[in-house]
Amino acid sequence: MTKLSTLKPPIARLPTSVASVSPQEQTRDIRRYAAAPWRKWYGLKRWKDLRWQVLLDALFECQRCGAIEHDTSKLVADHKVPHRGRERLFWDRENLTCLCKACHDTVKQREEQAEIVGNWD
């Protein structure tokens, strides 16, 4: 009888698609969450459900430039009035709109940074 040999796999082992977070990023995140505990709200199921509803209501269309985006990772449920940690504004559905990431990260951020920061509630 012939002895069977082990076959090599036809595909080379692929690298994992999940990148590990560097210690510098972990430290940065810890400082950000300590300085602004409300940032954790973005990880809650309640926020994810609300975000999805905002995107769905807008039919995945940026309310600023009109682009329709099928990749939801490129869409943002944006607060029209910056909440700056105010819980009522954060969860207010009427204060949310759908923006593409490009509009949110450029035009909208420039507008917000030009505003005088304060909490007058």
Q: Determine, yes or no, domain membership for 2.
A: no
Distance of alpha carbon 30 from its chain centroid, rounded? 17
Q: Determine, yes or no, domain membership for 11.
A: no
Q: Determine, yes or no, domain membership for 12.
A: no
Q: Determine, yes or no, domain membership for 119.
A: no
Q: Determine, yes or no, domain membership for 47.
A: yes
Q: Determine, yes or no, domain membership for 15.
A: no
Q: Determine, yes or no, domain membership for 65.
A: yes
pLDDT in tens, 20-71: 678 888 888 788 888 888 899 999 999 999 999 999 999 999 999 999 999 9
Q: Give the whole-angstrom CA distance, residue 106 versus residue 18.
A: 28
Whole-prediction pTM value? 0.70
The DSSP bridge partners found for residue 97 are 78
pLDDT in tens, 73-92: 999 999 999 998 999 999 99
Helix or strand or coil: residue 17?
coil
Q: What is the count of structural domains for the chain?
A: 1
Domain around 76: 26-114
Q: Determine, yes or no, domain membership for 121.
A: no
